[in-house]
Structure 1
Amino acid sequence: MQEQISAGYMQIWGGFFPGQLTGKPVPPGPLTGRTISIGGSSATVRSAPMSDAVALRRHARS
């Protein structure tokens, strides 16, 4: 993740999102629990049996 906010990557991301990115990006840290505050609400992190990519591959085979 740290690499994705390096100066070189930020220049690339800036091409996709001109004028929309901060000059000092902050990498995310590890979660300390299962709840994330978003605005005035909260989201609960849940385990999933598979990722979207795995589900898409399985669907494509059927």
Structure 2
Amino acid sequence: MTTRMDSPSPTRLDRRCDRCGAAATVRVILSTGHDLLFCGHHAREHRPALEAAGARLSTQA
């Protein structure tokens, strides 16, 4: 995600799940350094594959 310098920082309410658009509660940091945001449901669903790929999951979305 690219943030323009003149745009306000996103708030917790602006952060949405990359899979379904629900409020994001988990940030996934991929081994490439990129990140994904997931709701709790999708974080639980994809956690095994993400961890196997070396991703870190944080509840501070």
After TM superposition, the score normalised by the length of structure 2 is: 0.21
- Structure label with greater radius of gyration: 1
User: Higher relative CO (CA 8 A, sep ≥ 6), structure 1 or 2?
Assistant: 2
TM-score, length-scaled by structure 1: 0.21
Higher strand share: 2
